[in-house]
Amino acid sequence: MLYDSPDTTLLYETKKGRTWQCDLTDKLFLEFDGMVLAFRVQDFFAFRRRVNKVDILEMIFDLSDDRDFEVIEAPLHNFVHRFALCELIQLRDLLNGTKFSLDLHSMLHEVLGSSYVVLD
């Protein structure tokens, strides 16, 4: 799935990845460090909650080797990955930026009262 097809809209982009929405499948796509995952909205939110729940400070101050990584699962997607600390921060950045973008769209829909908003 390409993010520049006519039915897709780029939501957020960082140096490490990007997210986009597909209006044909009603899915959100996440590309991060070479991985691509497709989410339903609720699964995307659950994934974001999981990533945001990681205690970054605790990871920094805990010197044991197994705290250098955090295993994140997305059970519905058969996805398991070990993220290093800085990857987690980058992923968080991307997910939270996407959430902001989605909320902004939602707000515009509500305020403008139209079912479709074209931003680009």
Residue 23 Cβ, how far from another protein at the closest point, in Å? 5
Q: Are 82 and 69 in contact (CB under 8 A)?
A: yes
Does 119 participate in binding another protein (rule CB under 8 A)? yes
Strand-pair category, 69-74 with 17-22: unpaired
Instruction: Map the footprint of another protein across residues 42-81, applying CB under 8 A.
Output: 42, 45-46, 49
Distance CA 30, CA 77 (A): 12
Binding site for another protein (CB under 8 A): 9, 21, 23, 26, 28, 40-42, 45-46, 49, 102-103, 105-106, 109-110, 115-119
